[in-house]
């Protein structure tokens, strides 16, 4: 009886299709949407519906539901952390709320790296400070939590930025961190005296109360214990699970209890200490994909495994393919769309199209010029979208042939470190730079 609502919700999410973009990776958690009618050509002066000037930079991606667009952002002048709701049609502010205080703890990022999540009943904002709050769609605060105060100080060298996930009556958050405390940028990271635990957390979305907490230990070393990835729900042959990447491996967990169902072998047997993880897991066509960092391979496992996975559970890895050693991602989470994986190699500015079951490299598209790409690709209407760190948006055709369709600049020379992915909803693209949010769409 307990499984029935999960099955129904999974079915419902899979058929949200056109319309909503409820979380960082879209309606089915793989970066894709069934949205149609997106403009073939666009830019700041072409097919622009509206733009909204932001009070500060952030790496988070907008969430869209109905007439609302939700953002997490910093306010650089006041050092407030804000949750904002915009009118999808006009870009006007419907409501906003202060959720925390602070701006940054390191020079490369800030506290607003986590994306909001909504189920159409409420929206939940989370920040790298540990501040979390839920609001009704009309802006009434329902509850607040301070994750660091409740579960211990975060032990991350860089700013923690995993996004929360709503699914089947659970609000999931992963905190995979160092076991030993250390000094970072003049402050203690982790609990005084050490003993930090990596864990998965499930909260009641309506109240914020803990449903369960399970430990997710690893034998990784130092910074390699740190994961900035977001967990992803996945359903395969009747089994629902939460995919988790970090600590030099992938694992799958029961959605109702958090119990670990399986775990991959380590992709870091040498125990290299600086292999922090940023790209999250993605799954499709019965294959679960995980990216080791620092130009290391991509690993593809067959779904449905149990216990400690063995050699036969590995479908392929990019290191084993003579034509695909550069299929790798240090930052961007891969996309699954129309039976293909698309992997962004951030350093090489190269997008690879890979056959899921075999790992065969179908094509690679290099982005000439521009800056490094750390946004994660998203897709709809037969096209793939991403932007570089200066706000240059690129559109690539989905399919078995590499073809760049369009490029447009939304940043300016003073902007850098733009990492937000492009949300796709209601016939529009929502493109966030450090200075503004742009809504692009064909004329209504």
pLDDT at 246: 98
For the chain, which residues make up each domain, given as ranges? 3-441
Residues 6 and 313: their CA atoms lie apart, in Å, by 26
Chain segment 342-354, per-residue pLDDT in tens: 999 988 999 999 9
Where does residue 400 fall: left (phi above 0), alpha (psi -120 to 50 degrees), or beta otherwise?
alpha
Cα–Cα distances in angstroms (integers) from residue 403 to residues 76, 308, 387, in the given order: 39, 40, 16
Give the predicted TM-score (pTM) of the model.
0.94
What is the per-residue pLDDT for 323? 57
Q: What is the 8-class DSSP label of residue 205?
A: T
**For 94-117, what is each residue's pLDDT tens digit?**
999 999 999 988 888 899 999 999
Q: Which CATH superfamily does the domain covering 3-441 fall into?
A: YVTN repeat-like/Quinoprotein amine dehydrogenase (2.130.10.10)
Q: Is 373 left (phi over 0), alpha (psi -120 to 50) or beta?
A: beta
pLDDT digits (tens, 9 = 90+) for 151-164: 999 999 999 999 99
Q: What is the DSSP string of 224-288?
A: GG-B----EEEEETTEEEEEEEETTEEEEEETTT--EEEEPPPS-TT--TT--B-PPPEEETTEE
What is the predicted pLDDT for the residue at 322? 53
- Whole-angstrom CA distances from 263 to 111, 178, 268, 281, 319 are 30, 19, 14, 13, 20
Sign of CA dihedral 235, 340, 114, 90: negative
CA 124 to chain CA centroid, nearest Å: 15
- Report how far residue 363's alpha carbon sits from residue 326's, in angstroms, rounded to the nearest whole number: 11
Angle at 320 between CA 314 and CA 321, to 5 degrees: 115
CB 237 within 8 A of CB 303: yes
Least confident of 31-45, 234-248, 380-394, 408-422: 408-422
What's the CA angle centered on 201, arms 196 and 205, to 5 degrees?
145
Contact 133, 83 (CB under 8 A): yes
Question: Is the Cβ–Cβ distance between 71 and 83 less than 8 Å?
Answer: yes
- Percent of the chain exceeding pLDDT 70 equals 95
pLDDT digits (tens, 9 = 90+) for 427-438: 999 999 999 999
Predicted confidence (pLDDT) per residue in 222-277, tens digit: 999 999 999 999 999 999 999 999 999 999 999 999 999 999 999 999 999 999 99
Average pLDDT, the chain: 93
């Amino acid at each position: 009886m307990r499984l029935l609502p999960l099955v129904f919700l999974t079915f419902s999410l899979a058929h949200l299709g056109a319309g909503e973009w409820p979380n960082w990776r879209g309606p089915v958690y793989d970066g894709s949407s069934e949205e149609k009618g997106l403009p073939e050509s666009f830019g700041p002066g072409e097919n622009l519906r509206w733009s909204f000037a932001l009070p500060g930079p952030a790496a988070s991606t907008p969430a869209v539901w109905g007439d609302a667009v939700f953002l997490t952002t910093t306010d650089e002048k006041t050092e407030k952390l804000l949750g904002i709701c915009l009118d999808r049609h006009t870009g006007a502010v419907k409501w906003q709320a202060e959720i925390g205080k602070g701006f940054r703890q390191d020079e490369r990022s800030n506290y607003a790296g986590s994306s909001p999540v909504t189920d159409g009943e409420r929206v939940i904002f989370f920040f790298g400070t540990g501040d979390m709050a839920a609001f009704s769609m009309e802006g009434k605060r329902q509850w607040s939590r301070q994750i660091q105060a409740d579960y211990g100080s975060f032990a991350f060298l860089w700013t923690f930025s995993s996004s929360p996930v709503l699914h089947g009556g659970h609000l999931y958050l992963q905190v995979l961190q160092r076991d030993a405390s250390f000094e970072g940028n003049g402050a203690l990271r982790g609990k005084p005296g050490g003993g930090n635990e990596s864990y998965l957390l499930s909260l009641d979305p309506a109240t914020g109360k803990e449903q369960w907490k399970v430990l997710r230990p690893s034998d990784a070393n130092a910074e390699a214990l740190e994961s900035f990835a977001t967990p992803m729900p996945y359903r395969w042959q009747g089994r629902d699970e939460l995919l988790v990447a970090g600590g030099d491996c992938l694992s799958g967990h029961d959605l109702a209890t958090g119990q670990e169902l399986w775990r991959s072998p380590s992709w870091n047997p040498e125990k290299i200490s600086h292999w922090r993880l940023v790209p999250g897991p993605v799954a499709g066509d019965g294959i679960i994909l995980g990216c080791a960092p620092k130009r290391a391979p991509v690993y593809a496992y067959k779904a449905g495994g149990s216990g400690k996975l063995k050699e036969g559970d590995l479908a392929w890895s990019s290191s084993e393919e003579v034509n695909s050693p550069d299929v790798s991602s240090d930052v961007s989470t891969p996309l699954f769309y129309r039976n293909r994986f698309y992997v962004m190699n951030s350093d090489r500015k190269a997008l690879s199209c890979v056959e899921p079951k075999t790992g065969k490299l179908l094509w690679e598209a290099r982005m000439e010029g521009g800056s490094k790409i750390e946004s994660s690709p998203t897709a709809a209407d037969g096209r793939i979208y991403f932007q570089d760190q200066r706000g240059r948006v690129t559109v690539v055709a989905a399919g078995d042939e590499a073809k760049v369709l369009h490029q447009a600049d939304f940043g300016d020379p003073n902007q850098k470190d733009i990492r937000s992915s492009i949300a796709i909803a209601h016939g529009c693209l929502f493109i966030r730079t450090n200075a503004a949010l742009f809504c692009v769409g064909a004329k209504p």
